[in-house]
Every structure is written in structure tokens, then in C-alpha cells.
Structure 1
């Protein structure tokens, strides 16, 4: 295909104006208003529309993004992270007494559990002892198996003694702290969380509705699960929810920008989208095939026409601005001819295509992304069979290794310890998240050496070398970091988008009931004018 033809095809596939869709969205809004009457009068609850429900509110067991984000609101942690990924004090400050001994001192902030009890060093010890207990079955326990002993000094101080030196150790202590008495009593934190965070759970009547209460002022916020993004948008326009964050197709974002009652905000994100491989598959174990796929995918075109610029290319799991990032990595060029040459050497091509299975979720936009990748691979000689599933089934298959190719996004990544969890040969499930069964002695060595290196500059150098090695070996094809998107009704203010998509902005969000009534009148007028 000539270049001009290629561009026309891209625009047809990725960047339609979609007048029919826009007309249907407007018509749908009108029909909803006619069928259901005027939007509901406002109440004191702020409703936050999300795509997927929280599944487990026990921080020892939570692995899905929504649960992790909610848990960050419910529980305080010993440490936190700044925007460059550097570990900073949370509940506690610390000092390193020797290569294998750290002392933590609890401050005064955030130490009151939502049942009124006071958080002490004994609660911290009980939390981490429970995490390390094999009977707990935590997927996060293996990362902390270097803890040899936890010593209680008094109510405010404790020490961690390690079996080996690890300068990154404080950054591993991001788990929400649980009350020791509740841990000993076997409380079901998954459904009945109890933490010292800024929110508590007020009600959880069903899977798709979670009512939180902000402890400082009693403001209630309900997380409402609406899987269909079009329905989520309609609920925002009707005022049934007041906020949406992410999981919106770019054309829906454009549509919302035109609504007078809605404000759309964006910021660059750090969540890493990738194409993953099963490296125990006899075909995909060949780096040459993975390299052909990397050259066949036109990421820039996907970002321009499908994402409409709401993202940036990624070369590594950590963003380039992270202290351990690798900003000098060079991406694989979009080079279909090179991809065909690599495939031809393996005996495949357009006349003898290679068939592979590609799993994704049933989200409509993710299906479109999969379809575009499918279309880009076909001319070089790879036929993808797309298999889409509901989120629970899809994620279960990925964790169990039942896939050839899949695409996912790593969210909430803070420190470079993620590399051990995802790529070390000792982190195969269930001990870690090396779901592609990647094994590389050089990668293992770099992860181990970086973890034992004291100086920050040298540690960063090793992590840059590690990321270059991963880009060469391609256990993942890096895709992009998607922008963070907030769509809120005009009466909502004070919410700050986080680069990793956390819900921390709910700590400061506010609403005005007077503005709600005015805003909804504006929606009715806007809908009438479109009719």
C-alpha cells in the first residue's frame, strides 16, 4: 500500500468523526430524559462511575487495580512515594541501623483506625507477620521473604531485621496496616475492611455499589460500577453519577467536552500498557517472532488516530521521568518489511500466515485496540484470532498462563522492585507475576545486583541496563502510557488526577448542591436545543 493510501486507511480505521455515533448518543440522552423524567434531585452523596468493581478489600490479597485503589483510601501505609517514584514517609520515618536492620518510628498522623482504636507498632508487626505466614496465602508475601525478624520496641517503634541486605527494603512496605486484634480474630477484611485511612466503608449492598464515607467530614462517595462506557456517559449527563475516570473511548471524551454541564480534565499518565507473550509456547519462545511483532505494530498511528493523542509511546515499564527510568531507550521502528523478513526466515508470510490467539477483555475500546493490532499484523503474515472475555475470566486466564498473546496494563507501579515481581525467574506464579514464564540469567543477575547496590546513581544505572535488556529480549512489547482522564459535572471540584489513576483525589473532592440544580437545568436546555 502506498503511503497516501496507508494514511487514508488509518484515518478510516482510527479516526472517524462518527456522526452516527454522535447522533445516537444525543438521541439516547433525549430518550432517557423523556422515559425517566427530569434528572434526580441532588443528594449529599457524590457518585463516582467506574468500569470494574473492587473485588477484595484485604490489602494482603488484593491484586486488581480497583481494589488496590480503594484500599489506598481505606488503609494507611508505612511508606508512600513521590511523583518520581522515590520512597517517602507515610505513617513512619525510618533509619538504617546496619545493612540488615531498619528501625521505624510511627508519627502521629493517620493512627486512628475507623473503629476508634489507636494504631501501634504491634499492628504493623501483626500485619507483616500475617503477610509472611504461608497460611495467609498472600500473593505479595514472596517479595518480603527477606524479613528474618520483626522486633517490637514500644508502641511507636519497631525494627525489621533482614536475612540479606537490600537497600530498596523500605519501598517494599507499602501494604495497608491492619489492626492486630482483628487479624488474630480472623476478620474477613476482604468484605469488612478496617483501616486508618481517610475513608471507611459505610455500606456494600452489592458488588457494583460501594459506599465510602470520608472520615474528616462525613462526605459520602459511592463507587458505582457501570461496565458499558456509553451507559456510564449517559449516567453522567443525567446526573446519576457526578464523576467518571478513565475507561472511556476517545470519541466519548470528545463528546463530553462539548457538554456544557461537564468538565473534562486530562494529564499524562504512567500506567504501562503492553503486549504479553507465553514464552513456554514453542512459537512465541522464539525472540525472532516477538521481534517481528514489535516491528509490525504501528504504535504512533494507534496513539494518533485511535487514542486521539491521549497517550505517549512506552519503551519500558517505568516511565522515563522515574528516578530509575531509562529515557534514552530507542523504540522499535514500525517496519513491516523487516517484520516480513523475520517471519520469512521462520517459514511464514502473507501466503503462509502464522495463526496466533490473542486474549483481551470484553471492553469495547480494548476490543478495538485488539482489532487494530490484528489488522497491522495481517499484512506481514500473522493472523490473530481475538478472544474476548469478561474481566474476571480474562484475568484468571492470564494469571493461570492460559494464553499465547494478551494485552494488559500495569497500574500503580511505584518502585523498581516491580522488576523482580514481574521478570525474575523465581517469580513465576503463584510466587510472583512472571505470567509469561520469562527466564533470562542476565535479567536475574541485574535484578539481584540492583537490589543489593547501595548508591542511588549506581542502582539507577543497573536498572537502566536491565530495561535495555528487557527491551532487547521482548518478554513484553511495550505499547504506551495512557493519559489519565476525568469527566466531572460542573458542580464537582477539588479532585486532582493522579498520574497512576489512583482515587486519592476523593480526599479533597467537594460538591455544591446549588450548582447541581443549575447544571442540570443547563443539561435539559442543551438536550432540547439538540432536538
Structure 2
């Protein structure tokens, strides 16, 4: 891009991406809003990647089913779904929906979009050839999806942003093009790569009136900058506000901070295939050396809870006996001795990506805690996009990661499959155990939620006891919202919605 200025706000203005309220008056019909997001699209809008989440949060991309934070599924582009056989689901589409380019959303378009996702080089965990055997149109408004094995959770998979539906022309170029090809309340009109997208109201939105006329979504990795923009009025919603900035914002009369617990855990990912972390006792030693209670208090200032595993206390799939691992330096040293490893021989490079809230401080604390048992840690900081290839390929030792276990799909199955099965598409730990895989496959075919959740609890116990990763803190998310913003709710998939409005009164 020709627009390359050092100050983000200047670059946006110079490139014609101005934000804020562009029309005067109190009517919401002409209002514009600016939203600060921490993660920029990094894969040319490929829907099998996290770019899909950027598009759903921006009010562009929609899915067949919609996830409600109560745990229920609701109709979105599909009006109904039923399992007509152990491996067969029948999906009835909403009639009279059009893509933003004016073409109809019909069964052929939906099948084409879903097949495109299945054909991706690295399909998303929620919807891949590992789980989906076929997709076909049945007339103009019905789609039949068959699964590889009996799958009770296919409707949940169809709520994942990675299964979003774009118009056929979105896939005709070398990269996915969402401009004019979404069905959502907002359409992309301009993009400054890695910096921002500009959106306008979709006047023909199937879901009814869209309150805002336009919006700008800015991608700002620095949490302090996001907080500053909400303070100065440059933005009206800023997600993932750092704890230190939350304290500053709490006294503001023009900004409200909404903090809630998330199905998200900060973890120390250990490469289970790379020495010395291919040795379970070494991993357990690292686990025993880290004081999760101290980390939660010092780094997150109480904004979260010490982790008891991948799932937080109170969730229906958390083991009843789950508890934090007590820090015990003597035990850590003893475990290293049992492994036949001297502490001085363990030299760990720890990756802390810049977008992670508090990761720089967290890495420094871990460095000191492991130094106390004789383990040397060097810290590497970088933007996530630059380190992800190494994480996926296994060319690393350890990394900090913030992981939403309802992110891949609104059920832990997606997370457990992607992160911890042998063929998992996001298995950064490079953990592989056939017995564990069988447990997850069993859960996928279990209709009864109570029984399925028991399988998840068993999986969580296995991951925690074997220190596959070191689970550190169950997170909260703080979102700063300017006064006058109406209709906003914290949600893992949706931010800019048809009902969002901005009052100047």
C-alpha cells in the first residue's frame, strides 16, 4: 500500500479511513462507529483460518447456525436442521437471502462454499474431511451433509466462523475476497492491509434494519494503544483491554469497562516432540515450578483465576476434582532428577507474541520461576503472524498461548480435536496418543450432553496430569465501550451487529 505512516490514526486519515461519527444529529441511521480489534487478518481472508473470526466480528460473514452464549443454537442462514441418519444431517436454508453482490443464497452456493473449506490445504478443525464426508444440494433450499462417523455435533460445527458462507465469486481469485460477497449487515468497502477495514450498512440485509450507517474496524496489536483510542474518543469499542489500562479507564465517565469470564485459558505450550519436553517428567517438573496463583495475582492483577486445567471451575465439562497445581520447587527438581535431566541442561526459548495480553510480563515471571530451579529461559517476542509457521511446524520449544476452548466451535470438541489429537490442525503441542484420540472420537458421537461432558472431563484430567501443556490462568476479557453505544454484548464471534447503535445525546 502507498499509505505507510508511522502513526496509525494518521495513516487511516491519509488513506481515507476516517472513523467516528460522520453525521450530525441524534438519529442512529447516519452514525458511524470505530472498533479496535487486537488481531489483523493474516491469511488473505481464508475462512479456514482465524481471518473468519475477523469477518464475523466485523458483521460481514454469517454462518448457517448461530451460537448463543447461553449455549443454545439459533437459526441464521439455515432455518432448521435434523439428523435423518447416524451420519446424515438435513439443513433447510432461509429463503430470499441475497449475498451483498445481489446473487441469491441457494443450496448450490452453500455447497460450493462448504466444499471450498473442505478442500483447503489445512482445513479448520470444525469442518474438515476428517469429520465431513460430503455436502450436496437437495433442491434449491436444502443441503445434505454426511459425516465420516456418527456426529451429534454437526450443527455446532456450522456455527463456527470457519464455516461461514460467501458468494461464489469470493473464491474465483488467488485469495478469498469478502468484498461484496458476505450476507451480513455490513459490507467491506475498503481495506488497508494489516491496519483497518471500512464497512457500510447492507441496505438489503435479510435480518431487517441495520442501525449504523458505517463502521471502521482497526487492527491494533498494542493493548495500551487500544485503551488510548477509547479514552480520546477515536474509538467507541476497544476489545481486550490490558489490566493496567482497565484501572485507568474505570474512573472515566465517558467509558464503561465490561469484564466477564471467558471460556479461554492462558497456557504455556510445550513441544512434546522436541527434547527435553518429549519426556513427561520434564514437563511435569516445569509445571511444578510455576506458581499459577502468583502469576494470576501479579501479572493479571486478579483478572482471572489460577488454572485447574484447560477448563475453568464451574463449566459443565470441568472435572469435579480439578484443582490448581501447587508450586513446589523441590518437587520440580526431583522430577528432573527422575527424568535423568540436569536443570542446567534445560535451556528453553519461550515465544511470547505481542498481541497476547500481558505476555511480556508473564514470560518474565516464568523466566524467573524456572531460574529458581536452575532452568535457563530466553524470551523471544514477535507478532503472532510471524511465529505461527514455526509453531505449526514444530520448530520451537515453548510458547505462550491464549486459547478459547469454544472458539473453533461452540463445544469443547473442536478445541480438543484441533489441539490435542494426532491429526489436529492446531496441535501446537505436537501431542499424539491413540487412546486419547479414541476418547475424543467417542465424545463426538455421543448425543447425551452429560455423557459427552464426562468424556471431556476425562480428557482434561489426562492433559493436566501429564502436563501436556502448562495451564496457567483462566481469563477474563475487558472491553471498553464508549457511552452512547447501544446493543453491544461481549461475544466470541460477533461484535458489529445490525442492532448496534450510537447515540450522540
Structure 1 match to 2:121: 137
Structure 2 match to 1:474: 467
Contact in 1 for aligned 2:279/2:339 (Cα 8 Å): no
1:444 aligns with 2:429: no
Q: How far does residue 513 in structure 1 lie from its aligned partner after superposition?
A: 3.0
Q: 1:296-335 to 2 correspondence within 5 Å?
A: 296-335=289-328
Structure 1 match to 2:374: 381
Structure 2 match to 1:46: 33
The verdict on how the C-alpha distance between 1:120 and 1:191 changes in structure 2, with shifts beyond 3 A counting, is closer
CA distance in 2, matches of 1:187, 1:439: 34
The verdict on how the C-alpha distance between 1:99 and 1:380 changes in structure 2, with shifts beyond 3 A counting, is same
Q: How far does residue 371 in structure 1 lie from its aligned partner after superposition?
A: 0.3
Structure 2 match to 1:154: 139
- Which is further off, 504-513 or 353-362? 504-513
- Which digits, 9 at most, give the CA deviation of each residue in 1:142-170, with x for residues without a partner? 73444334332222212123343222233
CA distance in 1, matches of 2:304, 2:180: 35
Structure 1 match to 2:102: 116
Secondary structure at 2:245's aligned position in 1?
Answer: helix
Q: Which of 195, 198, 222 lines up with 1:228 in the alignment?
A: 222
The verdict on how the C-alpha distance between 1:508 and 1:328 changes in structure 2, with shifts beyond 3 A counting, is farther
Q: Which of 414, 421, 428 lines up with 1:417 in the alignment?
A: 414
Task: Compare CA radii of gyration and give the structure with the larger one.
Answer: 1
Structure 2 match to 1:199: 186
Q: 1:429-468 to 2 correspondence within 5 Å?
A: 432-468=425-461
The verdict on how the C-alpha distance between 1:100 and 1:506 changes in structure 2, with shifts beyond 3 A counting, is closer
Contact in 2 for aligned 1:278/1:404 (Cα 8 Å): yes
Q: Which of 389, 407, 413 lines up with 1:396 in the alignment?
A: 389
Contact in 1 for aligned 2:224/2:242 (Cα 8 Å): no
Gap regions ≥5 residues in structure 1: 1-39, 515-531
CA distance in 2, matches of 1:316, 1:193: 42
1:168 aligns with 2:160: no
1:354 aligns with 2:346: yes
1:510 aligns with 2:497: no
Secondary structure at 1:273's aligned position in 2?
Answer: strand
- TM-score when scaled to structure 2? 0.83
CA distance in 2, matches of 1:382, 1:193: 53
Secondary structure at 2:128's aligned position in 1?
Answer: helix
- Which digits, 9 at most, give the CA deviation of each residue in 1:82-140, with x for residues without a partner? 3354544432221111112211112348x32112332111111111222223xx42432
Q: How far does residue 284 in structure 1 lie from its aligned partner after superposition?
A: 0.6
Structure 1 match to 2:10: none
The verdict on how the C-alpha distance between 1:84 and 1:469 changes in structure 2, with shifts beyond 3 A counting, is farther
Q: Which of 63, 73, 86 lines up with 2:50 in the alignment?
A: 63
Q: How far does residue 285 in structure 1 lie from its aligned partner after superposition?
A: 0.7
Q: How far does residue 42 in structure 1 lie from its aligned partner after superposition?
A: 4.8
Q: How far does residue 507 in structure 1 lie from its aligned partner after superposition?
A: 4.0
The verdict on how the C-alpha distance between 1:57 and 1:105 changes in structure 2, with shifts beyond 3 A counting, is farther
Structure 1 match to 2:205: none
Structure 1 match to 2:336: 343
- TM-score when scaled to structure 1? 0.79
CA distance in 2, matches of 1:275, 1:311: 16
CA distance in 2, matches of 1:232, 1:74: 22
CA distance in 1, matches of 2:392, 2:436: 21
- Which digits, 9 at most, give the CA deviation of each residue in 1:243-266, with x for residues without a partner? 2111x3322111111233322221
The verdict on how the C-alpha distance between 1:503 and 1:403 changes in structure 2, with shifts beyond 3 A counting, is same
Q: How far does residue 453 in structure 1 lie from its aligned partner after superposition?
A: 3.0
1:238 aligns with 2:218: no
Secondary structure at 1:483's aligned position in 2?
Answer: strand
The verdict on how the C-alpha distance between 1:85 and 1:418 changes in structure 2, with shifts beyond 3 A counting, is farther
The verdict on how the C-alpha distance between 1:341 and 1:222 changes in structure 2, with shifts beyond 3 A counting, is same
CA distance in 2, matches of 1:437, 1:113: 40
Contact in 1 for aligned 2:20/2:33 (Cα 8 Å): no
Gap regions ≥5 residues in structure 2: 1-18, 23-30, 203-209
Q: Which of 337, 359, 384 lines up with 1:366 in the alignment?
A: 359
Secondary structure at 1:223's aligned position in 2?
Answer: strand
The verdict on how the C-alpha distance between 1:396 and 1:124 changes in structure 2, with shifts beyond 3 A counting, is same
The verdict on how the C-alpha distance between 1:328 and 1:160 changes in structure 2, with shifts beyond 3 A counting, is same
Secondary structure at 2:136's aligned position in 1?
Answer: strand
Structure 2 match to 1:524: none
Secondary structure at 1:201's aligned position in 2?
Answer: strand
Structure 1 match to 2:83: 96
CA distance in 2, matches of 1:97, 1:459: 21
Structure 1 match to 2:9: none
The verdict on how the C-alpha distance between 1:300 and 1:457 changes in structure 2, with shifts beyond 3 A counting, is same
Give the CA RMSD over aligned residues. 2.7
Q: Which of 164, 176, 193 lines up with 1:189 in the alignment?
A: 176
Contact in 1 for aligned 2:33/2:236 (Cα 8 Å): yes
